[in-house]
A and B are shown apart, each in its own frame.
Chain A
């Protein structure tokens, strides 16, 4: 699995857009990028997954540049309940997203 690098922590306020960038310089051709969210004392929860360009769902958007060496998770208009740890993972869909190896994650704190 490709190694990922994320900021350790980020702070924001309610209603703001939050962008968390993840670096994955060694991403392979068959690798996809997936983001998970984890609240305290809960298991991680899938947020979004993508291969290139832009992916959007009801929760977030994922921006992936052409070289795919990084990706940005965008959370629109965050609320207090978005305070959590966000993990970026990279791997082949057939194998890498079964046996997940988590990096440090980004601890997002949303304040009133």
Chain B
């Protein structure tokens, strides 16, 4: 099946610094990608929709100036957590949909564990 790769898989940063997470679709083009956040023992929460060549759309309650999204190519979307604080520590996951011959499904990256100290 299609592969979506995230990098890094784990990152620790100091409070106040910024962290960039990359999401790549390795064998298909994705004009749209999605970013999720997941806290321990909780479900995935959709943060924003990343649109290639245009601005991202954010879910209610998600600060667009804090979570900067760039989708500069058909295979790469980046999420930058700016001025990170300990409460931003979470598991961040991206997804990219692909319509196949049998199913329409979303492919997920392996996730990025962010720890802000």
Interface residues of A (CB under 8 A from B): 32, 34, 41-46, 49, 87, 93-94, 97-105
Contact = CB atoms under 8 A, between A and B. Distances in A.
Q: Which label, helix, strand, loop or mixed, suits the secondary structure of the B interface?
A: strand
Contact of B93 (A43, A93, A105): A43
Contacts of B105: 34, 46, 49, 97
Contact of A99 (B43, B46, B99, B104): B46
What is the size category of the interface that chain B forms with chain A?
20 to 34
A97 B44 contact: no
A105 B44 CA distance: 10
Interface string B80-117: 00000000000101110101000111111111010000
Given A41-B91, A41-B111, A97 B106 contact: yes
B25 interface: no
Given A41-B91, A46-B103, A93-B104, A101 B111 contact: no
Contact of A43 (B43, B46, B97, B110): B110
A29 B64 CA distance: 35
B32 interface: yes
B78 interface: no
Nearest to B49: A99
Contact of A102 (B4, B6, B44): B44
Which 5 pairs, one residue from A and one from B, show the smallest C-beta to C-beta distance?
A: A43-B108, A98-B97, A102-B44, A93-B104, A46-B105
Contacts of A44: 44, 93, 95, 108
